[in-house]
Amino acid sequence: MGNIELIKKTFEAGDGIFRLNPVFVPRPFGKAGQRLRLHPDDYYALGTKRGSMKERWLASTITCSNGPLAQEDEGLSYVAVSHESDERFTLKEAVETLKEQLIGSKLQEKYGEWPMYSKFFDYLNPLFHHIHHMFDAAAKVGKQGKPEAYFYPKQLNNYHGDFPHTFFGLNPETTHEQVKDCIRNYEKADTKITEFSRSYRLKLGTGWYVPPGVLHAPGSLLTYEPQWNSDVYSVWENVVAGEVMDRNLLVEECPKDKQEDVEYIFSLLDWEKNIDPEFRQKYFRPPVPAVSEKEYKEDWITYGNEYVGAKELTIYPGQKAVVRDDAAYGIVFVQGYGEFGVHKCSAATMLRFGQQSDDEFFVSEGSAKKGVTIINHSKTEPLVGLKHFGPNHPDMP
């Protein structure tokens, strides 16, 4: 069966909802936090040269910027056709085939694609101080800018790792020359760039929004990260937790003729946002109630930006609810089990690399508007899912 026919048949069988396979992604830097609910033997499933599995990508239609050893489809979400076979197709193919029938007319007309994805970020140690490019700078290397958001789910943080604090931006008194010296001295000594920054203790059940061009060194909590459709970054901290970063990580997403240009590299920063003394007031994201009913509740956990939104959905024990949204979305369940539309659903306990799961789905705009019937089969535990949206949900605060 050709993919077009298979996509349409699977879409109809799922009543407008696709079940997605888990996508685990290795990174060559840092240490794995091992909270992805992946089997302990599978953290080096692609070999030690690739590094350990530190991320799980959700509702992804883009590939990773992950070096020359990356697989051609690395990072892409696949739709599982059935539990009985390994037949599958990418979510990207589904969007290209179904267009507005899947993602809605607004996203199709404006972007021609599903414009965001989310991930679970899982590092034992703090990550380096880095930026994601603003849109103009990213366009110069054929990519998109990358705003992103963070949320720290309680269900996936049974321990907090080595450093549950995140550095954001720069102290207001920091000078241009102090930061440029960190660029100039990248391969000479530890530049200690975070001495010019400030860290915030991370709190479970809350999050942040991080605009492109803002330096940040994520802490060691497992983080749910809704973000724009891009994998672009520049690493500004050259030594972190004893690990030395290659200078290529600073400049590989710069035009070839700008990779030695300190002024150009410095221009990747959104300076005013980095030194904003009200950074926390503007970008910290405590949950905002969206719905509170007898059967269920929803809180906005990513909001207040032009790009991505997310909600935490909780179906109470033994309850059944019809949950409606005015936009397509991806969802991953992090606690409990039950039914999600015509599908069985259950949070993962321990997955093998390459195994199917029942914890991740993609909901078409039509099915979201009609309402998805969700049943929690547990009499004791809530059924909890994290829902990620593009920029078109009309109710996002």
pLDDT, average across residues 237-244: 95
Q: What is the pLDDT of residue 189?
A: 97
Domain 288-389 belongs to what architecture?
A: Sandwich (2.60)
Overall pTM surpassing 0.85 (yes/no): yes
Write the CATH number of the domain with boundaries 3-285.
Answer: 2.60.120.10
Percent of the chain with pLDDT over 90: 98
354: left (phi over 0), alpha (psi -120 to 50) or beta: left
How many angstroms separate the Cα of 38 from the Cα of each of 5, 22, 44, 90, 349? 33, 10, 11, 21, 8
pLDDT, average across residues 300-308: 98
Q: What is the bridge-based pairing of β-strands 53-58 and 223-224?
A: unpaired
Q: Domain map of the chain by residue range?
A: 3-285, 288-389
Q: Do domains 3-285 and 288-389 have the same CATH topology?
A: yes
Q: What is the pLDDT of residue 351?
A: 98
Q: What is the pLDDT of residue 235?
A: 98
Whether the CB-CB separation of 200 and 280 falls below 8 Å is answered with yes
Enter the DSSP assignment of 20. B
Q: What is the pLDDT of residue 257?
A: 97
Q: What is the pLDDT of residue 212?
A: 98
pLDDT of 51 > 80? The answer is: yes
pLDDT of 1 > 80? The answer is: no
Q: What is the pLDDT of residue 342?
A: 98
Report the DSSP beta bridge partners of residue 323.
372
pLDDT, average across residues 372-382: 98
pLDDT, average across residues 350-361: 98
**Which residue stretches of 46-144 are H helix?**
91-98, 100-103, 105-110, 135-139
pLDDT tens per residue across span 68-126: 999 999 999 999 999 999 999 999 999 999 999 999 999 999 999 999 999 999 999 99
pLDDT, average across residues 37-58: 97
Residue 65's pLDDT band (cuts 50, 70, 90): confident
Q: What is the pLDDT of residue 168?
A: 98
Q: What's the CA angle centered on 114, arms 110 and 118, to 5 degrees?
A: 130
Percent of the chain with pLDDT over 70: 99
Residue 67's pLDDT band (cuts 50, 70, 90): confident
Whether the CB-CB separation of 300 and 151 falls below 8 Å is answered with no
Query: How many other C-beta atoms can be found within 10 angstroms of the C-beta atom of residue 330?
Result: 27
pLDDT tens per residue across span 134-170: 999 999 999 999 999 999 999 999 999 999 999 999 9
Q: How many CA atoms lie within 13 A of 18 on its CB side?
A: 35
Q: What is the pLDDT of residue 2?
A: 67
Mean pLDDT of the chain: 97
pLDDT, average across residues 337-359: 98
